[in-house]
Amino acid sequence: MQSQKNIVLFASGSGSNVENIASFFREDSRVRIKGVLCNNPGAGVVDRCKRLKLPLFCFNRPAFQELDGLLHLLRGLEPDLIILAGFLWKIPEDMVRAFPQKIINIHPALLPGFGGKGMYGMHVHEAVLKHGEKESGITVHFVNEAYDQGAIILQEKVVITEGETPESLAGKIHKLEYKHYPEVISNLLFG
């Protein structure tokens, strides 16, 4: 029997990817969600965690910058994989070094395009449309010291159609995320 794997998620927003990942692994006794870490106590993900009975840990900017307490908490959770699911702050270098090749992110565009500071959520879709792109997509990648520049694990594309709005594009992108992010996580955990 394969050993149990622990996952930890980081989220800042609505948390629909957190919920999707939690439902994907709900019946899988090999995977335990040890914690959802959130930097925004007013975010939608907080209510989702309560409803889904997921262990939630909130932290503020000083705690994130000081980092020691957070690293201590993370080590105690013994994560096999740390999953960023709509987490908006840059991961500090010390955290990357503490968990080499164990932190992954999903970005709602085709990196290296439309990544970096300030490029999150709807801002990304607005920029993609403003630039006149014919397609967009998702990128799952390892997190390294540089924003949105770690090794790419998977990219999937969507076609941008006539009259596309940031909202309609976000809907298409979310669909791709729900389909592929749990699969990538499962592959990384179990090969």
Judged by DSSP in three states, 128 sits in helix
Query: Closest Cα to residue 94, out of 140, 136, 143?
Result: 143
One of 72, 107, 174, 180 is an active-site residue; which one?
Answer: 107
Residues in contact with ligand GAR by CB under 6 A are 11, 13-17, 85-86, 106-108, 119-121, 124, 173-174, 177
Decide: 30 and 4 in contact? Cβ < 8 Å: yes
In whole angstroms, how close is the CB of 14 to ligand GAR at the nearest point? 4
Instruction: For Cα atoms 64, 67, 68, give the angle at the middle one, nearest 5 degrees.
Output: 150
Nearer to ligand GAR, 44 or 79 (CB): 44
In whole angstroms, how close is the CB of 68 to ligand GAR at the nearest point? 25
Sign, CA torsion 34/70/82/17? positive
Nearer to ligand GAR, 15 or 79 (CB): 15
Residue 107 appears among annotated catalytic residues: yes
Decide: 131 and 142 in contact? Cβ < 8 Å: no
In whole angstroms, how close is the CB of 106 to ligand GAR at the nearest point? 5
Judged by DSSP in three states, 126 sits in helix
Q: Which residue has the tokens 């630039």?
A: 131
Nearer to ligand GAR, 1 or 93 (CB): 93
Nearer to ligand GAR, 80 or 177 (CB): 177
First to last CA, the chain: 15
In whole angstroms, how close is the CB of 113 to ligand GAR at the nearest point? 13
Residue 111, phi-psi category: left (phi > 0), alpha (psi -120 to 50), beta (remainder): beta
Q: Active-site positions?
A: 107
